[in-house]
Chains A and B, each alone.
Chain A
Amino acid sequence: MAWFRKEKKPRAPRTERLEIPPDVWEKCEACGHTDIREKFIRSFNVCPACDFHRRIRAVEYARLLFDENSWTETETDIRSVDPLQFPDYAARVKKARGVADYDAILTAHGTMAEMPVGIGIMDFAFMGGSMGSVVGEKISRLAQRSLEKKHPLIVISASGGARMQEGVLSLMQMAKVSAVLSQLAERRIPYVSILTNPTTGGVSASFAMLGDAILAEPGAVIGFAGPRVIKQTLGQDLPEGFQTAEFLLDHGMVDAVVHRRDLKATVGRLLRHMSGKPAVAGWTTA
């Protein structure tokens, strides 16, 4: 399969690094490892030294999951309004639209491993990936498209929770998306949820935790109450590794923690199982 890439073993940093101009270097936020940017990009922005999964943008996930040139963005005209006339909200949205014009989620359809799918990808860069009416409506339309076409649905979460500037309307998006997912379930259309860093608050307590399969990226913080709030309530430090993807796996809350390089193959295999399609040779040994 053309989309399938073999794992590249990270090599030791090259010694000739001083000859390369300084702006092509990238430093890992987690371990301090410095490497040429190209190498970070080639490894899906996972640190070649420590496997730290750096935050990537929605478009990068789209390129990672969809087959090359197969995808089209949907619902590009829908934008947030200021239903409560909330202080500073309109200005903040305006500013955020400079970062991403698709609000906190990019929705698209295309093919993944040659299967038609709809994918929603949250973008933390847009107001912390907060879920307001637009996020709810875009997922809902994407899911309805899946209902009509009988295509699997994939949602990648990255969110601090509900967008408080839209008040209870943002809380209601949790109910809205859960309602449309129940329709998908009724029609036996597979839904895979992928949790990235962070997936907390209202997003975690709705579609993120409702997947037929729930996958998480290594090290992602996942939980309902944010770690800071819990720390404040308890007045003590949280245990090491609390609310990480690995912690959730241990506690039975996710199906698997999946390295970014294996994400596409894993989702592809899951969807083929759940859609009654035969296995594809070569996929099982990632």
Chain B
Amino acid sequence: MASTPTLEFEKPISELEKQIDELKKLAGDQRIRVEDEIAPLEKKLSALRQEVYRNLTPLQRLLVARSPRRPFTLDYIRLCFTDFIELAGDRLFREDAAIVGGWARLEGETVMVIGHQRGRDTKENLRRNFGMPHPEGYRKALRLMKLAEKFHVPVFTLIDTPGAWAGLGAEERGQAAAIARNLFEMSQLQVPLVATVIGEGGSGGALALGVADRVLMMENAVYSVITAEGCAAILWKDGKSIEMRERAASALKITAPELHDLKVIDEIIPEPVGGAHTNHEASAAALQEALIRNLEDLRKLKPDKLVRRRREKYLKMGQWAE
């Protein structure tokens, strides 16, 4: 991941990290004691991370959420679950690697896990279409959810996509219908459903995995009806400048605390100071704890009550006056 570009506002952090690494290397090579020098630097690093991350703007959060250094769906599957067996294909047209899913175990119990999967390098991103599904991806996801329902197994979804794919094939094969069908079926699935936005939750492509009894969000994840770039381009004819993207990102209210206030999400999962990418294991541990706890509550409900509560929750969504 050395080739991953550092985010602008993270530069002071990465410079300090480099300094510490060099000192450690020097110590290793020349057997010099440097603990006395490293300790204050590490203290400074931790303070700096806290400082930078406490003051992230919505656009900066969006950039963090998109960072290829963050844990992806398959990372969380590896770290939170055991015994994962991936299931491929929608049985209709083809396999879509932008969404992965399969049987797994959480604390030894079988569950179904489904999530968008981005790539870390160009080759993987081409294969996974940058985590932007075609209709086949949504249909595979639905197939797996229905499979889970058949065997009375709860479903966990992990959301991490810039959005649906704007391409000819995706339209030809009915991505609107595919997304709509998922929303429809997820609203009445007879097993517990917990969705977590782990990175970028982009529009309909995200929502197609996002109708759930509980919707959780990682602290630095974002969730939006349109990208900040797209919004700025439509409203202010400028989707490129930092100023306009910042304006759109903050106007759209895409961060976890804002969405919690709007009652769109139920819980924010804390990330390690400095973001999930600084410590995949700690992030996964926090996610795992939240998934176990939320599932425990939902398991107590009979299917009809579960579905009734889920529907009631969505029927309340929105704000209006009368």
Contact = CB atoms under 8 A, between A and B. Distances in A.
A238 interface: yes
Contacts of B93: none
A274 interface: no
Contacts of B224: 167-168, 171
Nearest to B312: A179
A224 B175 contact: yes
Interface string A246-266: 000001110000000000000
Interface string B294-322: 00000000000000001100110111111
A230 B315 contact: no
Interface in A223-241: 223-225, 229-230, 232-234, 238-239
Considering residues B181, B204, B208, B253, which has the most beta carbons from chain A within 10 angstroms of its beta carbon?
B204
B262 A205 contact: no
Interface residues of B, number: 53
B188 A202 contact: no
A32 interface: no
A79 to B, nearest CB: 5
Given A176-B318, A210-B181, A168 B223 contact: yes
Interface string B164-184: 111110111111110111011
A183 B283 CA distance: 38
A215 interface: no
Interface stretch (A1-9, A54-62, A80-88, A113-121): A80-88
Interface in A48-89: 75, 77-81, 83-84, 86-88
B171 A78 contact: no
Given A169-B262, A209-B180, A225-B170, A175 B314 contact: yes
Contacts of A80: 320-321
A224 B204 contact: yes
Interface stretch (A12-20, A35-43, A132-140): A132-140
A181 B234 CA distance: 31
A171 B251 contact: no
Contact of A242 (B168, B231, B314, B315): B168
Contact of A168 (B174, B211, B254, B321): B254
Contacts of A134: 318, 320
A208 to B, nearest CB: 7
Contact of A170 (B174, B186, B208, B225): B225
SS class, residues of chain A in contact with chain B: helix
Contacts, number: 192
Contacts of B235: 87-88, 164
B264 interface: yes
Interface residues of A, number: 63
Contacts of B262: 83, 167-169
A210 B184 CA distance: 8
A78 B320 CA distance: 7
Given A169-B264, A175-B314, A242 B176 contact: no
B318 A178 contact: no
A224 B174 CA distance: 8
Given A136-B318, A174-B207, A224-B204, A230 B311 contact: no
Nearest to A230: B166
B207 to A, nearest CB: 6
A222 B170 CA distance: 13
B110 interface: no
Nearest to B135: A224
A234 B317 CA distance: 35
Contact of B320 (A87, A137, A181): A137
A207 interface: yes
Nearest to A236: B168
Contacts of B290: none
A232 B234 CA distance: 14
Contact of A171 (B186, B207, B319, B321): B207
Nearest to B173: A251
A202 B204 contact: yes
Contacts of A238: 168
A229 B208 CA distance: 20
A232 B230 CA distance: 12
A23 interface: no
Given A168-B264, A205-B176, A242-B171, A179 B211 contact: yes
Contact of A169 (B165, B179, B318): B318
Contacts of B167: 225, 230, 233-234
Considering residues A169, A222, A229, A251, which has the most beta carbons from chain B within 10 angstroms of its beta carbon?
A169
Interface of A: 75, 77-81, 83-84, 86-88, 132-134, 136-137, 140, 162, 164, 166-176, 178-183, 185-186, 201-202, 204-210, 222-225, 229-230, 232-234, 238-239, 242-243, 251-253
12 contacts: A78-B322, A83-B262, A87-B247, A137-B318, A172-B207, A182-B188, A186-B188, A209-B174, A224-B170, A225-B167, A242-B171, A253-B174
Counting from the closest, the 3 A-B pairs by CB-CB distance are A133-B318, A225-B166, A178-B183
Interface of B: 164-168, 170-177, 179-181, 183-188, 203-204, 207-208, 210-211, 223-226, 231, 234-235, 247, 251-254, 259, 262, 264, 310-311, 314-315, 317-322
